[in-house]
C-alpha cells in the first residue's frame, strides 16, 4: 500500500500538535517537513528548532526535505532529528558525498529533483539513496497544481530501480489529491506527499483514508 507523508507547510502551527495526533490516528506513515532558506527557493519556512519540537511530540518518522543552497553544510545538524533527509540534486556540489554522509549519520538518504530535471540525472546516485523525491510542482510554495510530466519520471525511476534490483522509496510531492494520487501510485510512487489537500480539510482523517483507499 502507498505511504502518506503529510506536509506541514500549510498547517496552522498553533494547532500543529493536535493535528499531528489526528494524523497519527488516521494512519499516516510519516511527516513531511519542508525547510526553505529564501535562496534556493524564494520562500522561507522553518529550521531545526521547529523540527526538534515536532520530534518531541510524535513517534512518526520525520521526512525532512531541504530546499536550501549547498545543503552539505547542514547535513549533520538536520540529521539529528530526521529519519529521512532529502536535498535537491540541483543545489549540491558533491551529491554522492552528501548522500554517503547522511547514511553515515544513521539517517535514510534521499535526493530530490525539480520539474526541470530528468529522472536519468540521478540514476547513478540511486545505489546511495533510500528514497528519491520527484517534485510535481515548483518547490517553494504550497497549493500548486500537479504537473503531469512527473508521471513519466516516476515510471522511469521505478523501472530503473527494478532493473538494478534496488529497494528504494519513490516519493512525489506537489498537487496530490483524490485525482492525482492514483495516477502517481500507478506510475510508480510509493510515498505521496499531500499538504494543502489534507490540512485544508475539516476532517483530515477522512482525507488520509480517502487517499489510501485509492
Parse the chain into domains and list their residue ranges.
3-213
Catalytically active residues, by annotation: 34, 173
* CATH entry, 3-213, from 3.40.1000.10, 1.20.140.10, 3.20.20.70, 3.60.20.10: 3.20.20.70
pLDDT for residue 79 is more than 70: yes
Question: Mean of the per-residue pLDDT values for the chain?
Answer: 94
Q: Which residues contact 89 (CB under 8 A, 6 or more apart)?
A: 95, 111, 112, 113, 114, 117, 121, 122, 125
| Torsion angle of the four alpha carbons 16, 36, 78, 143, in this order, in degrees rounded to the nearest 10 | 40
How much is the pLDDT for 9?
Answer: 86
**Which tens digits make up the pLDDT trace of 10-64?**
888 888 899 999 999 999 999 999 999 988 998 888 989 999 999 999 999 999 9
Cell 547522511 belongs to which residue? 102
Q: How much is the average pLDDT of 149-163?
A: 98
How much is the pLDDT for 42?
Answer: 87
Query: Residue 85's closest CA among 32, 125, 49?
Result: 32
How much is the pLDDT for 74?
Answer: 94
How much is the pLDDT for 195?
Answer: 87
pLDDT for residue 101 is more than 70: yes
pLDDT for residue 142 is more than 70: no
C-alpha cell at 9: 507547510
How much is the pLDDT for 171?
Answer: 98
Amino acid at each position: 500500500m502507498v505511504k502518506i507523508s503529510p506536509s506541514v507547510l500549510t498547517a496552522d502551527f498553533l494547532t500543529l500538535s493536535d493535528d499531528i495526533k489526528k494524523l497519527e490516528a488516521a494512519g499516516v506513515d510519516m511527516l513531511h517537513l519542508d525547510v526553505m532558506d529564501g535562496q534556493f527557493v524564494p520562500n522561507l519556512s522553518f529550521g531545526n528548532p521547529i523540527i526538534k519540537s515536532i520530534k518531541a511530540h510524535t513517534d512518526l518518522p520525520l521526512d525532512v526535505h531541504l530546499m536550501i543552497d549547498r545543503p552539505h553544510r547542514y547535513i549533520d545538524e538536520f540529521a539529528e532529528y530526521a529519519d529521512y533527509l532529502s536535498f535537491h540534486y540541483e543545489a549540491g556540489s558533491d551529491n554522492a558525498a552528501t548522500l554517503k554522509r547522511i547514511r553515515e549519520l544513521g539517517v535514510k538518504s534521499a535526493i530530490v529533483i525539480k520539474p526541470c530535471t530528468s529522472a536519468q540525472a540521478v540514476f547513478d546516485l540511486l545505489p546511495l539513496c533510500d528514497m528519491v523525491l520527484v517534485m510535481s510542482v515548483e518547490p517553494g510554495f504550497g497549493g500548486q497544481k500537479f504537473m503531469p510530466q512527473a508521471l513519466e519520471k516516476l515510471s522511469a525511476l521505478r523501472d530503473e530501480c527494478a532493473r538494478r534490483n534496488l529497494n528504494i522509496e519513490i516519493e512525489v510531492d506537489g498537487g496530490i489529491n483524490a485525482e492525482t494520487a492514483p495516477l502517481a501510485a500507478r506510475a510508480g510512487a510509493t510515498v505521496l506527499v499531500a499538504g494543502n489537500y489534507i490540512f485544508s480539510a475539516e476532517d483530515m482523517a477522512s482525507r488520509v483514508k480517502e487517499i489510501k483507499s485509492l
